[in-house]
Amino acid sequence: MKHYNYIFAGSGLSALMTVYKIVQSGKFSDKSILLLDENSKKSNDRTWCFWSEKNENWEPIINKKWNSALFANQDFKIDINLNPYKYNQIRGLDFYNFVFDVISKQENITFVNQKVIDYEESENQAQTYEGIDGIKTIMNDMIEEGAPISAFGIPQEMPDLLQHF
């Protein structure tokens, strides 16, 4: 049986963003982290668009950036300068590659391409069952660890990436 301090069931945007921030914080290097996903995260399954006011962490992987918007119909047309905001697009695959590149250099972080088929919680630990082969049970004490959001270097009052539609 293998034991990890933190297990992420699914390695999508929220898990990868959290683990990226964990690495950047430098405060979790003594904690073991397991990322599980049924998908290998090697395909461009989506794009993300979001607003920003200043240059930010994700600059190297921003695929497109808009400084103006067009609002129009058959009789009316106006160009809107978005300043001071920009509307940005990131390709999912670029984000996955960017974060996995960082993760692969961390000895305390493991990614396993397997489906989570069930989990059980108890007072201070959870068991995650993998369905395909290999380890049957993984113990997880993430509930006991319970780190505050500030430990990830994220300002309490502001999320790192706002969602907009």
Ligand X SMILES: Cc1cc2nc3c(=O)[nH]c(=O)nc-3n(C[C@H](O)[C@H](O)[C@H](O)COP(=O)(O)OP(=O)(O)OC[C@H]3O[C@@H](n4cnc5c(N)ncnc54)[C@H](O)[C@@H]3O)c2cc1C
Question: Whole-number minimum distance, CB 98 to ligand X, in Å?
Answer: 14
Site membership for ligand X, residue 97 (CB under 6 A): no
C-beta neighbour count of 117 within 10 angstroms: 11
CB count, 10 Å around CB of 136? 11
Question: 60: which DSSP letter?
Answer: G
Is position 163 an interface residue for ligand X (rule: CB under 6 A)? yes
The gap between the terminal CA atoms of the chain, to the nearest Å, is 43
For ligand X, the closer of residues 37 and 94 by Cβ is 37
- Give the phi and the psi of residue 78 in degrees, each rounded to 5: -140, 135
Q: Whose Cβ is closer to ligand X: residue 14's or residue 124's?
A: 14
In the bound complex, what is the minimum distance in angstroms from residue 8's beta carbon to ligand X?
9
Quick check: 61 binds ligand X (CB under 6 A)? no
Give SS3 for 10: coil
The answer to whether residue 64 forms part of the interface with ligand X (CB under 6 A) is no
Binding test (CB under 6 A) with ligand X, winner from 91, 108, 115, 151: 115
3-state SS assignment for residue 11: coil
Binding positions for ligand X, 20-59, rule CB under 6 A: 36-39, 46, 48-50
Q: Is 62 in the site for ligand X (CB under 6 A)?
A: no
* Minimum CB–partner distance for residue 24 and ligand X (Å): 18
> Which residues in the chain belong to E strands, given as ranges?
2-4, 6-9, 33-36, 47-52, 62-66, 68-72, 77-81, 86-91, 109-112, 116-121, 126-130, 137-140
CB of 106 to ligand X, least distance (A): 19
In the complex, the smallest distance separating the C-beta of residue 39 from ligand X, rounded to whole angstroms, is: 4
Residues that bind ligand X (CB under 6 A): 9-15, 36-39, 46, 48-50, 115-116, 163
